[in-house]
Structure formats: C-alpha cells, structure tokens
Structure 1
C-alpha cells in the first residue's frame, strides 16, 4: 500500500476513534445501576425522556471494534473495561427487547422494523463475532443472547414497513444473514433469500439505483451498497456484487468536483456517504476505489457529514462505518475516472429523470423528478457555480408550496443540451410539531394500543404519510426550462395561478430542504456558495394580479458569475 493510501486510510480510524469518548460518555457505566449499559444518556442521566429507545445500543459495535482491532491511535485496544462496557451494552439490548423481537426508535411501542431492529441485530451479531473469536464472550450470556437474536431475526423476516425504503430492505438482508452465519439455522437462510428477493423488487438494474420512497436517493444508495457489501464479505453471492456494481456506477455521477456528495439531488436529500461497501468492492471494481478515495479526501476536509456534527441518535452509525472501512480498506487495482473527470458526455436516466452533461470544464446535473433541481460546477476550478433547488414560497393563505418535490406527474422533456420539467407546485408539510398535550395523548395511545404488532405497524404508516407525503396543489403550476450553451446556462421559470391562490413570498433557487428526513439538512460549507432570488413586492404584485409570471436567471460560464433574476413577461 502506498504512503498516500496509508495516510488516507488512517482518516477513517481518526474520525471514528475521536468519537469514542463521546460515545462512552453517553453510556451508563455504573455496574450497580438498573440501566447499566444503556447508551441513552437523556434517559438514564438527564431524565429528559421517559423511555429508552433501542437504537443507542448500536454503540456496542463501536466499542467492540475499538476493543478488538489494531488501528493507529487506538488507546481502547485490549482495555478490559472496554470489554465489560461492550457486553453491558449487549445485555441491555437483550433486556429492553419487545416480546416479538422488535425495538423502538422514535416513540414507545413503535416496534420499528430494520431502522432500529435490523441495525441493532447486525451490530450485536458483529460484536458477538468480534468478542467470540477472542474467547471474550461470556458463556453465561450466550443462550440469552442467541434467543434474543433469533427473535429479532424472525421479526425482520416476518414483517416489513409502510413506504418503500430500499436501504431498509438491504438492512433486512444483512442482519438475517449474519444471524444465520452464527446460528447456522436453515430457516434463517430461507429468510435471507426471502429478504433479498424483497429488496430486488425495488432495485432498478437498468439505471443502478434503488427506490427510496418515490425516487433515487444517492446518500442512502451508498448505505445500500454498504449493507449488501457486509454480506458479500462473508457470502460471495454474485447477485449482491451485481447490485453493488450497478449502484456504485450510478452514485459516482454525484461525487461532485468541489468534493461534496449527493444532497438535494436525491429523493430524500441526504448528504452522507457510507464507505464500507465501496472499500469491499474496490479490489474488484476500480471505480469503487476511486469513489472511496475521492470521498475519503472529502471526509478529511470536512465535506462529508462527520459524526461530530450529528446528533446522539445518528453519530452512532458513522463510527463503525469508518472503523470497518479502515479494517477492510480495499486494494486499488487499475485506474478509473469519476464521471466529471471523463471526456465530454451527456447522460439521461429516463426512469429516475436525471439529466447530466459534461461539456469541457462544465459539469451540469439536473433532477427533473424533483422539479428541476440543478447543480452546476466548473471542473477546472472545482467551484460550485449554481445550486438551484427550484421554486418555494408562502401563499397569503399560509401554505408553503414548492417545485422541489418528487412527483411522478411532472412532465420531463430533453433535447440536446437542454431539458424542461413542468407540473403543479406541492404543499410542504413543514409545521407539524408536538405540543405537550399532543405528546401526552400520543404516548398514551401508543401505550394502550401499540402492544399489538400489526396495529403499531399501521400507526407508523399513518405517521409517515402525514410527515413525508403530500399531493400537488393543482391551482399553481410551473414550467422550468434549463438550457446550456457555450457562454451561458439559462434557467427560465414560468409560474401560473389558476385559482384564488396568491403569494406573500416567493423564492427562486438556493439550497433548501423540504422533506422530513431526520438524516438530512446538515450544514455544509458549500451553502455559502449557493444563492437564491426573492421576488420583490412589485414582482409579487405582478404575479398575483396577472396570475402568471416568467422569470429568468443565467450563469456566465466564462466568468463563473451569476446574473440577476429578471422578468421576461
């Protein structure tokens, strides 16, 4: 391994190990406490929440990896207390399990599927394997642990969830196989095949992406590659490798010249990159190694969402992902170029509705499925020239409407170096928050009725529909036309009011996130390079009175500057 690769590889370990003190500070390490091993500090110490969700116990895997593995700067290796705290976390996981094998994440009696239960089962099985191969797993806990693992695996096999999240289906494949690998129960191997078949329904092999609610999400696609890669590491199933290669090719288009990744281009607007799958695939697919290297530099430079800025709920995912990426750092064989590094091309993905153009130093991406979200880069200067998430505004009736919403009723046209998208603006469900009274009523309802697995399943489906999905408001329509020439990128937006709706505020462009996705909306420094336009009072009056307006803004490709928003008609 070259010196440069060694230095890059070490970034994984550094970024993860620096978070172990934070993780240990979240854990109840008092062996005489009734919550010994619990990683939910807000529950056992702060007393600001009244239930212990299961997901924090995923922290056990990070402790197990730090305790058992040689890594640069790892002061936690072979520390007996680390072994004790790892096992304490695993025992608390078994203690708080529901009788059906499930765990809660966001509220009591949620009985979440792979979001909490699958992640936890993988974390526990991997931790068991790490400890057991050293003879460090307590024999007195083995039967209880295996029983809890079997219950969780059977729960994952039996159920699914409302709304298609392909990465959750990939996460179902992962822990079920690991449980089979340890227990060698043929029924679990059958469960693995069942869960893999379920996942395959949501993978678009022609384009390489997997469905996240209603479209392709690039951040979560890397998670899918990672989850399947962890299985592929133990089980060289060619079906897994094929999906991983297809997905890696697709997501490579969204590794940007300025070092950032994914974001508002995707259906769930996530910014994170799960690296472990690309590291596992790197020896067999040079492009996977190139993607991993590019985004490892980005991680070093703070351009990939680091654990340090994530909440206690989600930084748990980053630590073992980085540690396992370090341990399985793949040999780089052959050369590969990222799409923006290649010769000029135009690529249209008709199913996911992405339009991508490399032309000289210009790299343009558009997502028509989200109303024409645009990113424009200068490859030579590695500069973001335009970040335009479309139209968003507030009506005088108090609704927030946007074009940045995945809608299969949008029309998508493309010709040469231009594309257009048109449809109706969508209301944004942004104001749904708990009040103390609503919270009390909700928790009481879940305590009374959430004990029933099927009922809990339907309740969660209703919650998702309220928070995530919405229908277009037919009386406000738009058309966005994007055209690339030698000198300019031209973006023209036409808005038409067909009913009584009028606007009190309207914005064109800039970076903004509108969908409820807890693992999104993290700050990135490139937000300072994004610019939006707010319609003036005169322009708003024109729209409200004439019921239509046509607006245009441009980017000078030679100078790399953005023009003002002008009214065409």
Structure 2
C-alpha cells in the first residue's frame, strides 16, 4: 500500500464512528435503522431525510472488505446495522418509488432517489448472501419501484451529474431485477446525458460548466462503464478528464467559485478507474490526494450531516480500486509549457506563463483565480463585485447571463453586462408552516410535486433578476503581472450603500458549496470607503483596478 493510497482509507475510516452515531441502532426503536439523527434522536425535524440512508453503502463496504485498520470487517453488528439501514430505506419510500430529502412529499428524482438506489444496489451486492429472505423480497420490490420512478420522470433544469446518477442506478437495478423496461429507459436517458456533454469536455450544470460536479459525472460514468460498454464513453472520458485537469490548482485545491455551481469537491473514484486508459487521470488523482492530505478540497470531516455520507464510500472505493500509476505521469496544465487557451463554449480562459497559472470564467462575469507558480499560492481571487442598494437588494456581477458581451483578444479578456440580484430566501415560522401545509395538500401528486420542486429551485438558485447596475471588466494577463480592471455604472435612480471588489464570495444557492478553504486566508478584496461611495452615487460611475506582480506580497487595489 502506497502512502498516497492510504489517504483515502484514513479519511474514510475516521468517519465511520460518526456515521454509526447518526444511525438509530436500537432494534426495539420504531425508527431502527434510520440514519437521520436530527429526526430520530434530536426531534428537530418532522420527517426523516432519506439521503441519510446513503451511509448504508459505507457500512456495507467496511463490513465486506478487509483493509488495514478496518476493525469493522465481518463484524456481526456491522451486518445487523447495514441490514437495518436497508430495511428502513424500504419503509420510507413513497408508493410511486420516490424518496424525500429536503421536505415531505418532495419526491426527488436523482437527488435523492437515484443516489439512494445506487447505494442500495451496491450494498445488496456486498451482503446479498446474508440478507434474510423476507427482507430480500421487500428490498427488491423497492429497488424495482425506485428504478421505474427514475425511468418515467426527470427534473426541471439541467444537472448533468444528476442524469449520470440516474442512469447508473437504473442499470444496476436492471441487473438485479431484470425488467427490460428499465433497460430501455436507461438507454434513452443515457442518450440524454451525453447530449448535455460539450465537445470541450464539460457537462452542463444549470447554465454552465462546473468542475466539481464534472468530477462527479466522471465518477458515476466510470462506475457504469465497468458493467456497460458504449463506444461513446472513451471520447467522453478523455475530454472530461482533460477539461477537469485545468482546475487542478498549484496549491492542491480544485474548482470552486470558477464554476457554474461554485463547488469545491472532487470525486476521485472515477479517476482511479481510468488511470490505465487515461494516464492524465492518474496525474489528477495524485495531485488531489496530496491536496487532501494537506487539508485542501472538501474532506468529510468539514461537511454537515447531509453530505458527509457521500464522501465515505467514494474514498473507500477509490482506495479499493486504486489505479496503476505510469512511471512518468503526464503533466497537469499548470506544469506544462506556457500556453493561452480559451474555451468558447464554456467561455473560460486558461493562461500558463513562466511565473503564474490563471483561470478566468467570462460566463460568470469574469471570475479570476491567479496562482504564483513559485510557491503555488493563490494570489488573486477576484469573484467580481458584490454590493447592496439603498433599498436592501444585493447585487453581483458573478452571474451567468447569455447577454454578457465577451471579447477575447491578445492578452486581454473583456466582459460587460448587467449585474443580477443575489437571491437569499430563508423561512420564517409562518412561511414554513404555509410551505408544509402546501406540500401535504398537493405534494402527494407526482406531477404537482415535480412542478413545485422546479419552482422552488428556480426561486432559490436561478432567480437572479437584472439590476440597475452595469459592469465592465477587463482581465489582462502577461508573464509577470495580472490586472483586473472593473468599471461599475449605476442606472436609473440606483443608490449604492456598500460595494466590494474581489475576494471569495459565492452568489448562487448550492447546498454542496461554501465550505471553508484555507486559501481564503491568502486573499482579500476591496470595499469602497464612504467618500468613494459618495463619488459613485454622484457621478454614477467608478473604476477599480486589482494588480499583482510576481514578487509582491499581495495584490493591490486602486480606484
């Protein structure tokens, strides 16, 4: 076992006590097997979030596989608790085959039904010989119902990773129950997923490319490719691994606010499965392992109860399927010779100079990440502008809008457009009660639940209306220097009370984002002073420049 490989195992095994603490292990309890501690113990919610049962897969993996330091291997209690989790999963399923994650009668598609079906099919495979007959019959019926639900439905908006995590369990379920209707629907939805994959190597996540969820799609599809062959897979994997490699940063971090969904996580299992056919996958996996060891990325220990369950089996599988490494791994983009590459579909610019590595997402209004190659440090992290109007509305340039004007020429990338409102909705006691009543009254119907979820998603994630603020941003990158010049113009009668340029800030509601990263301590932004705000509101325009030259201790702002 190599030192790098052991990182996966150490991270995963360290979370098994936490996972077991989340489960109701009292066989005399009416919620025996439930893994949502907030429901069965804290009584802080009125329904069990089904996605917590995803943790069953990790229990089955540590029970079934002998690994260094794995004290859970073939322990009879681990089998009992695995089976209890599987049985509880069957009890909380709706009659239409779906499950709820965020609220009662949600009836979610890939999330949570697809994710859960995958975890349960894999858990079944690991402990099949030890499942009692009555549970086996009930379990396979639930598998069939869940697969049929995935087959006949989808979800509003385009989340490519969700489509990948629908087709993967559909095929797994087909292998278990043998229903050709599931196989036929699987093939149709596979075509749909591949239609969301751009020739540049990225997959659509709402309205753009997101490196974090691209790694998830690679992982899910690589899992599928072990059981199902398709001539289109090789091209997909080669392009996707290459595109994702541009977001492996010199400091060991990955993705982040550069993406459409601003996710920081990295799914390694798919890369481990691909190391033989795509050597670059090994280079990516190695660098991400070193980052994980150093405290970068999103380890399960910093995640909340809802999402840490995803990381544990992913790391265990990456350990078990740790791929062969080439003697001379291919260079990552930041290690290669100097280049400047613009992806017109993704609207992203990557620049490697002798001294620095830079990525820019013009589609998001010109989000910039600039790294010094001498020490790998993030020295410029400019996510655009974020401000507040006198009427309380918050706006930002960090928004994907097809109406943005984008020009890339020579050393410069220019983006101009309108700022958008930053949605920020939370429940009050009254609105929460109204929402619960509405879901109980209408969510029982599959199609109504579908449209309600689409409306909620649009409200929380995509509801950024144009604001009376215009921006123009010019990013100039040369060998020893980067400049980010941003002009802000107020329209109509808009009056600004606060305005920040640069630094790390998320704009979109994405539950699997906003995790703290130590690199945030290395950068800063610029907040307009009172006299500058007065000038802006009087003249209706202001420009701010952020500049960094190799050798500077930090970037400098001036207006």
TM-based fold match above 0.5: yes
Residue in 2 that maps onto 1:318 = 311
Q: Distance in 1 between matches of 2:301 and 2:401?
A: 34
Mapped pair 1:161 → 2:130: no
Q: Counterparts of 1:473-512 in structure 2 under 5 Å?
A: 473-512=466-505
Residues 291-342 of structure 1, C-alpha deviation per residue, up to 9 Å, x if partnerless?
0111011111110111001111000100000001111111123521100000
Deviation at 1:33, TM superposition (A): 1.0
- Counterpart pick for 1:534 among 527, 534, 557: 527
> TM-score with structure 2 length normalisation?
0.98
Cα deviations by residue, 1:162-219 (Å, 9 ceiling, x for unpaired): 1110100000111001111222332222121011011112110x21000001100110
Is 1:19 the equivalent of 2:15? yes
1:237 shift after superposition: 2.7
User: Matches of residues 77-476 of structure 1 in structure 2 within 5 Å?
Assistant: 77-132=73-128, 135-204=129-198, 206-333=199-326, 335-430=329-424, 432-476=425-469
- Distance of 1:328 and 1:496 partners within structure 2: 54
Stretch deviating more after TM superposition (272-281 or 544-553): 544-553
Alpha-carbon distance in structure 2 between the residues aligned to 1:292 and 1:41? 33
- CA distance in 2 between counterparts of 1:217 and 1:273 reads 11
- In structure 2, distance between residues paired with 1:317 and 1:228: 16
Structure 2 unaligned spans of 5+: none
Structure 1: distance between partners of 2:33 and 2:479 = 62
Alignment deviations for residues 112-159 of structure 1 (CA, whole Å, 9 cap, x no partner): 001100010000000011112xx2222222221111100000000100
Q: Deviations over 1:80-103 (max 9, x none)?
A: 010010000000000110000000
Query: Residues 165 and 212 of structure 1 are in contact (CA less than 8 Å); yes or no, is this contact kept in structure 2?
Result: yes
| In structure 1, C-alpha distance between the alignment counterparts of 2:284 and 2:541, rounded to whole Å | 44
Structure 2 equivalent of residue 47 of structure 1: 43
State the alpha-carbon separation in 1 of the partners of residues 321 and 228 from structure 2. 15
Q: Determine the C-alpha separation between the residues in 2 that align with 1:485 and 1:83.
A: 59
Q: Note if contact 1:12-1:323 (Cα within 8 Å) is conserved in structure 2.
A: yes
Provide Cα deviations, 1:247-283, integer angstroms capped at 9, x if missing partner: 1110100000011110000000000000111011111
User: TM-score, normalized by length of structure 1?
Assistant: 0.96
Match of 1:35 in 2: 31
What is the SS of the residue equivalent to 2:368?
Answer: strand
Decide whether the 8 Å contact of 1:426 with 1:470 is kept in 2: no
Please say if 1:544 is aligned against 2:540: no
Q: Residue 362 of structure 1 contacts residue 376 of structure 1 at CA under 8 Å; is this kept in 2?
A: yes
Deviation at 1:486, TM superposition (A): 4.0
Q: Does the CA contact (< 8 Å) of 1:371 and 1:403 recur in 2? A: yes
Instruction: Work out the CA distance in 2 between the residues paired with 1:421 and 1:273.
Output: 29
Give the length in aligned residue pairs: 558
Contact preservation (8 Å) 1:157, 1:194: no
C-alpha contact (below 8 Å) 1:368/1:412 kept by paired residues: yes
Give the 3-state SS of the residue equivalent to 1:375 in structure 2.
Answer: strand
Q: Helix, strand or coil: the match of 1:119? A: helix
Please tell me whether the aligned partners of residues 206 and 260 of structure 2 are also in contact (alpha carbons under 8 angstroms): yes
1:560 Cα deviation after fit: 5.1
1:474 Cα offset (Å): 4.9
